[in-house]
Amino acid sequence: MRVVDSHLHLWDPWTLEYDWLEGPMAARFAEDELFEEQLPGVTEEVSVFVQAGTVERAFLDEVAWVESVADAAGVVAITAGARLDSGAATAEHLERLAAHERVIGVRHLLQDEPHGTASSPAFVDGAKLVAARGWTFDACVRAEGISDVTALADAVPELRVVLDHLGKPRVGTDAAPLRPSAEWLRDVHELAARPLVHAKLSGLPAEAGGRWAEAQLTPFLDAALEAFGPERLMWGSDWPVSSFDTAYQPGGRARWFRFVDSWAQSRGVSSDGLFWSTPLAFYGIR
């Protein structure tokens, strides 16, 4: 079995500056730590690195650092950090990113931005520059922000967008699970009506606080399948973020992989598509 992990984070707070890492997360998670979390029964494994929340002034430094560990970590592509609403500064930043051959897309982290940010004129202008380069955009929002991603997809219909973590729905915990809300279901289906938008089966363990049950999360995967169809879904580990509860939990990446693989088989979803060909095609990885 071949696997592209479409959502991998690496970080090193002794090399780069982050303003969100604290407690047990404020440690190095890079090639050596990832080696201990290889997936079981996989013949070939590569990853797409997704920017890990460095401070803005370190966006380019993060790309350079990831490049330095990429071969050892199996990273074949980089989704770099970028602000898309900064006009000429955005254009200059994208030009500098283009000097790095592994960069295939960007992420402007939207989850803490005011509603409407992604559909603002300045942001749309930046997104058009991304699309013009043939790059992708990772949309990381909380559930209430999914409609903003839909507005962006309408404003820049040529932009290939992927919804990270299914839009971070409220899933509850293993002890007190929540069903998919009517609002989340409505917004996911509306977004999925845009044909270039994909979605990642990723991040739900983190939304559950690291303690999750298969029966708890299955309805969210089923809803994503109904909305996007199997051809626009891809798997991502969200490692190491989704391997934490109160502390780092070794084996969390493999557990999520086994669960999604089992779910896919039970639903007749092609493992080769979900884990390999869809992310390769979306990100334009050769």
- pLDDT tens figures, 37-93: 999 999 999 999 999 999 999 999 999 999 999 999 999 999 999 999 999 999 999
Kindly report the average pLDDT of the chain as a whole number.
Answer: 98
pLDDT in tens, 144-182: 999 999 999 999 999 999 999 999 999 999 999 999 999
Mean pLDDT of 132-151: 98
- Would you say the C-alpha torsion 24, 204, 105, 190 has a positive or negative sign? negative
Contact in structure between 153 and 196 (CB atoms under 8 Å): yes
Task: Give the pLDDT confidence score for residue 98 in this predicted structure.
Answer: 98
Cis peptide leading into 157, omega within 30 of 0?
A: no
- Determine the Cα–Cα distance for residues 280 and 286; give it in Å rounded to an integer: 7
The pair of three-digit structure tokens given for residue 155, joined into one six-digit string: 């404003």
Please give the single-letter amino acid code of residue 268: G
3-state secondary structure of 266: helix
Beta bridge partners of 198: 162
Q: How far apart are CA 284 and CA 282, in angstroms?
A: 6
Per-residue pLDDT, 286: 86
Write out the two tokens for 225: 């399948």
Q: Which residue has the tokens 């949309």?
A: 139
Tell me the average pLDDT across 264-276.
98
Counting residues of the chain whose pLDDT is more than 90, the rounded percentage is 100
> What are 228-262's pLDDT values in tens digits?
999 999 999 999 999 999 999 999 999 999 999 99
* Mean pLDDT along residues 117-125: 97
Going by C-alpha positions, the residue among 276, 279, 281 that lies closest to residue 39 is: 276
Does residue 207 contact residue 181 with C-beta atoms inside 8 Å? no
- Domain boundaries, given as residue ranges, for the chain: 2-283
List Cα–Cα distances, 43 to 3, 85, 136, 260, in angstroms: 8, 41, 27, 17
Domain covering 2-283 assigned CATH 3.40.50.2300 in the classification: no
Structure tokens at 229: 């169809």
- List Cβ neighbours of 228 (8 Å cut-off, separation of 6 or more): 192, 197, 198, 199
| Tokens coding 1 | 């079995």
140 CB-near residues (< 8 Å, 6+ apart)? 107, 109, 110, 111, 164, 165, 168
Please enumerate in sequence order all residues whose Cβ is within 8 A of that of 170, keeping only pairs 6 or more positions apart, or say none. Answer: 143, 178, 181, 184, 207
Structure tokens at 236: 């991502």
Amino acid at 250: P
Is 4's pLDDT higher than 90?
yes
Name beta bridge partners: 235: 201
Q: Contact 85/123 with Cβ under 8 angstroms?
A: yes
* pLDDT at residue 251, as a whole number: 98
pLDDT, tens digit, for every residue of 205-222?
Answer: 999 999 999 999 999 999
Report, as an integer, the average pLDDT of 266-273: 98
